Every structure is written in C-alpha cells, then in structure tokens.
Amino acid sequence: MVRLVICDDEEKMVSLHLDRIRRILEENRIACETETYTRSENLLYDITEDGFYYDILLLDIEMPGITGMELAEKIRPYLPDVRIIFITSHMEYAIDAYELSIFRYVPKNDLEKRLPSAVLDAVRLAELEEGRVYTIRTNSRLERIPYKEIRYIEKDGKNAAVVTGRGVSKVRRTLTQIYEELGAEEFIFTDRGCIVNLIHIAQIRQGAAMLKDGTLLPISRSHLQGVKEAVNRYWGKHI
C-alpha cells in the first residue's frame, strides 16, 4: 500500500492537510496509509536512523530547525524515489524546489485547487510502481528486483547488467529476452545495447536521456523519436 506522510510545524495545518487528503483519497476510492509529523527532526530521524519508508512526502518549506528544503536534501539518499510535494507561501522557493527534483510545488493560497491533483498524481504513480518484480534465477542465487528500482539495463558481453540505485545485478540473458520478460510499457530501448525505465527519466536533451540520478544514457539516432514519443505517451497517460 502507498504510504504518505505530512510534516508541518503547525498542528492546525497538519490536521487541515490530513482532512483534505483523506477526503481526496476517499472520493477517489484510493487506499493509502497516512502519517503526520510536527517536527522535521523527528521525520528525518525515523527515515535515516530507523529506516521508515514513505512513497510521498507533503512538506511545509518554512519550518523551524530543519526546513522542508533541507529535509528533502537530507533524505534523498535514503528515499531516492520518494515524491515530495512542497507547500509554501513564498513563490521564490519554486526555483530551489525544481533543483531538488521536487514532484510538485503547491502555494498555500491555492491549496483547494492545486493539492488534490498533486496528491492524486503522486499516489497513482506510486501505485503504478508497486508490486512488480524482475526475478533473476541462477544455480547459486534468487534475486527479486522491483521494477521501480530498475533504472536501466545494458548489454555487458554475454550478460545483461541490471542497474538499480543499490548496484548492478548481472544475468545471462539478452536484452531482447529481458525486455519480453518485463513486458511493461515503462521500459524502452534507447539503442540496441540499452533499455531504460521511463519512470527514471528526468529529461531528454542533446540526444541523451538524463536520469533523475544524473546518469546520461545516449539515445541512438534511430531510436530518438520513438523514445520522445514513448516518454510523452507514458506521462500523458499516467499523469
């Protein structure tokens, strides 16, 4: 189940956000676990020290102690795929939020209009990525890799290297075999030697796919138009 956390130093705002989000989820018949915090330090500790996992963070930027912006930066290494929704009354933060790969930016004076779509889009994407795994079986090991963790897969001699945020797993398969086994629309060839997960693409520029972690994957000239169309089609369908 998707897990969402709200963090705001004002208890009144926490209750307000929680009521709104529960109403949004109920109206759309979406199951989602919700947690709340009024101290950013406590949320940071639970994530970095106790290993708490969340799919979506709804953060106020202007918090005492550790600000929402600082919190987002500190937790990225622990929750690289988390979707962060910033809420603030200061529009100038939007530029910095973009640099941190923030999912959405919602002004406090436009919550009623902007918050529902931000939350629903984040939940639907998290649901889309849940529950599917690619299994690597050999004589000595059985490894299950969630689809959402696969950033790209590249040819490595007679093997294929499955690259995730945790490292590289090799399997004696061709890329075509893996592509067919995955059978998922978010995976697409960027050239004959590489398959990328569209979920992890931040942008396409100068003939390459830039992933959210900064990795640049070259796109062959023959695949470039198809990759662009696939990205537009995929995000247009799921957002």
Cα 12 to Cα 203: distance, rounded to the nearest angstrom: 38
Q: Which CATH number fits domain 2-129: 3.40.50.620, 1.10.287.470, 3.40.640.10, 3.40.50.2300?
A: 3.40.50.2300
Q: Give domain limits for the chain.
A: 2-129, 133-238
| CATH class of the domain comprising 133-238 | mainly beta
SS3 14: helix
Query: Which is higher by pLDDT, 70 or 97?
Result: 70
pLDDT tens-digit profile of 156-182? 999 999 999 889 999 999 999 999 999
Angle made by CA atoms 83, 98, 113, in degrees to the nearest 5:
65
Give the ranges where 82-162 is alpha helix by DSSP (H). 93-99, 111-129
Name the band, by pLDDT with cuts 50, 70 and 90, for residue 79: confident
pLDDT tens-digit profile of 211-228? 988 899 999 999 999 999
Residues pairing with 195 in the sheet: 153, 189
| Predicted pLDDT at 95 | 47
Residue 150 dihedral angles phi and psi, to the nearest 5°: -75, 120
When mean pLDDT is compared over 80-84, 90-94, 154-158, the highest value belongs to 154-158
> Comparing 101-110, 115-124, 126-135, which segment has the lowest mean pLDDT?
126-135
Residue linked to tokens 């247009």? 236
CA 227 to chain centre: 20
